[in-house]
Amino acid sequence: MNNDRYPHAAGHLGIGGSVEAAELMTPQLPKLQALVSEVIACAGPLGATGDEIAAKLGWDKFRVRPRTAELRKLGRIMDSRHRRPSEAGIASIVWVLPQFAGPVEHKGGVAYEGK
């Protein structure tokens, strides 16, 4: 991803339309991130998957994934290390607020979140 301001600005691939789309999206990021964060907060310790967040907000699921990536990078949400099936039947990350996440595991002396 080619954006030095990420996750405070929308990420892009460094090519034409991707850069333009990111520039148009960036002013909206705080509001969009807050909406996603609110759905996760309301879910409490049960958390929410990307599909569940999209359903609550009436969004396409592909609109949610960049926001969860940004919020994770900002430390506002965490991978609960639990999975629930997506609409496609694939195991999906259950996102939670940090206070509901289990302890961060250490592997080889390096902290990591989830698997």
Q: Does a structural domain hold residue 35? A: yes
Q: Does a structural domain hold residue 7? A: no
Q: Does a structural domain hold residue 2? A: no
Q: Does a structural domain hold residue 15? A: no
Q: Does a structural domain hold residue 55? A: yes
Into how many domains does the chain fold? 1
Q: Does a structural domain hold residue 70? A: yes
Q: Does a structural domain hold residue 31? A: yes
Residue 12: strand, helix, or coil: coil
Q: CA–CA distance from 84 to each of 87, 89, 91, 95 (Å)?
A: 10, 9, 5, 10
pLDDT, one tens digit per residue, over 78-108 is: 999 999 999 999 999 999 999 999 765 555 5
Whole-model pTM: value is 0.82
Q: Does a structural domain hold residue 40? A: yes
What confidence category does residue 110 fall into, taking pLDDT thresholds of 50, 70 and 90? very low
Distance CA 60, CA 62 (A): 5
Backbone angles phi, psi at 46, to 5 degrees: -75, -20
CATH number at residue 68: 1.10.10.10
Distance CA 77, CA 74 (A): 8
**Which residue range forms the structural domain that includes residue 65?**
26-100
pLDDT, one tens digit per residue, over 12-46 is: 878 888 888 888 888 999 999 999 999 999 999 99
